[in-house]
Amino acid sequence: MDDVSILNTEKKFAGALFKSFRSKRFGITTCCGLDVNTAIISKSLCDWEQKLDKTLAFSTELTIKIIDCETGEPVAEYGKKGSSINIYK
């Protein structure tokens, strides 16, 4: 899905929920019928498609440096061969 269709789906979802809230809370109804269920379903499908579109790219060149707050110096480099840091104390 492109960004415009995602925004349109979220706009319709928000509008349908607001109209439903307004009719239940204040008794103000619109001339056209409320289709909250369709808006919820299309929003859920849109969210699901967004999750499917995202792929994780893993890098083998990732290096994490842990820095001592008092000295500002790196304590050790995590992720290099032979280094180990216990972060779960």
The string of pLDDT tens digits covering residues 21-77 is 988 889 888 777 768 889 989 999 888 888 875 655 555 666 667 777 777 777 765
Q: Does 79 reside within a domain?
A: no
Q: Does 59 reside within a domain?
A: no
Q: Does 12 reside within a domain?
A: yes
Residue scoring higher pLDDT (13 or 69) = 13
* Residue 33 lies in domain: 3-53
Residue with tokens 């103000």: 28
Amino acid at 69: C
Q: Does 65 reside within a domain?
A: no
- pTM reported for the whole predicted model: 0.53
Q: Does 80 reside within a domain?
A: no
Q: Which of 12, 73, 79 is nearest to 45 (CA)?
A: 12
Q: Determine the pLDDT at residue 89.
A: 45
Q: Does 25 reside within a domain?
A: yes
Q: Does 68 reside within a domain?
A: no
Q: Does 62 reside within a domain?
A: no
What does the DSSP 8-state code read for residue 87? -
Please, what is the Cα angle at 62 between 55 and 60, to 5 degrees?
Answer: 65
Q: Determine the pLDDT at residue 14.
A: 92
With DSSP H G I counted as helix, E B as strand and the rest as coil, what are the percentages for the chain, rounded to 5? 45, 10, 45
As for how many domains the chain has, the answer is: 1
Q: Determine the pLDDT at residue 11.
A: 92
- Asked if residue 82 has pLDDT above 70, the reply is no
